[in-house]
Amino acid sequence: MNEEEEGKKSKEEKEDIIAPFLEGESVDLLPLNLDHLNLYTKWFNLEEMRLFSGSEFPQTKEEIKKKFESEDKGTKQNIFLEIWRKKEKKAIGLAIFNHINWFNRSANMLVIVEPDYQKEGIGTEVGKILVEYGFLELNLQKLQATISDANTAGWKLAEKVGFALEAKLEDETYLKGKYYDERKYGLLRENWSTN
């Protein structure tokens, strides 16, 4: 490849880069990129990711696309963002607000990180970014998270970013032949600390 071809390829690659919607230290949160549908479909179908995200049934690329596209119509009840790892310049997960209730000013929060990137503090960083966005930009009053007791990383993340355990529902979720309690977490804006 000659210099002219390299320069042209480099320019094209730069044009494909989407500006960060929300910026963090090691990750940015970007609008969804439908060119990454295969990756999103992989995440929603990976056992270790689907077990805790409420995806009990296989999901096709078309179903995932429809889920994202239905958000373009009417009042948004879900906000999907791609977690972009700056170091490797690649998508590694999804950051989601779902069940947004604009009247009550509340939303459920969900962070999905590819298994290879877990246990690096990325989930906590993304959680902090989402909390700040939810309270300071979306003007939400309360953030919630519903997490299976089996998802230790999930409920530890919620606690690290300031969520308080509000309730525990016995034997609420069934995973791989066993029932688990479900933890209901909440964070009120007035209880949120930016530290």
Whole-number average pLDDT of the chain: 86
- Give one DSSP letter per residue of the chain, joined into a string: --HHHHHHHHHHHHHHPPPPSEE-SSEEEEE--GGGHHHHHHHHHSHHHHTTTT--S---HHHHHHHHHGGGSSS-S-EEEEEEETTTTEEEEEEEEEEEETTTTEEEEEEEE-GGGTTSSHHHHHHHHHHHIIIIIS--SEEEEEEETT-HHHHHHHHHTT-EEEEEEEEEEEETTEEEEEEEEEEEGGG----
Q: What is the mean pLDDT of residues 113-122?
A: 90
Structure tokens at 185: 């977490």
Q: Is the pLDDT of residue 73 over 70?
A: no
Q: What is the mean pLDDT of residues 68-87?
A: 81
pLDDT at 1: 53
pLDDT at 11: 41
Selected residue with higher pLDDT from 46 and 180: 180
pLDDT at 70: 66
Structure tokens at 33: 């990129």
Percent of the chain with pLDDT over 90: 54
pLDDT at 14: 43
Q: Is the pLDDT of residue 78 over 70?
A: yes
Is residue 187 a contact partner of residue 131, using CB atoms and an 8 Å limit?
Answer: yes
Is residue 22 a contact partner of residue 81, using CB atoms and an 8 Å limit?
Answer: yes
pLDDT at 127: 96
Query: pLDDT of 118-176, one tens digit each?
Result: 889 999 999 999 999 999 999 999 999 999 998 899 999 999 999 999 999 999 888 88
Q: Which domains does the chain have, with CATH numbers?
A: 18-191 (3.40.630.30)
Query: pLDDT of 1-21, one tens digit each?
Result: 555 555 444 444 444 567 899
pLDDT at 10: 42
**The pTM is what?**
0.84
Q: Is the pLDDT of residue 181 over 80?
A: yes
pLDDT at 16: 57
Q: Is the pLDDT of residue 72 over 60?
A: no
Q: What is the mean pLDDT of residues 16-39?
A: 88
- The alpha carbon of residue 83 and the mean position of all alpha carbons in its chain are separated, in whole angstroms, by 7
Count of CB atoms situated within 10 Å of the CB of 56: 10
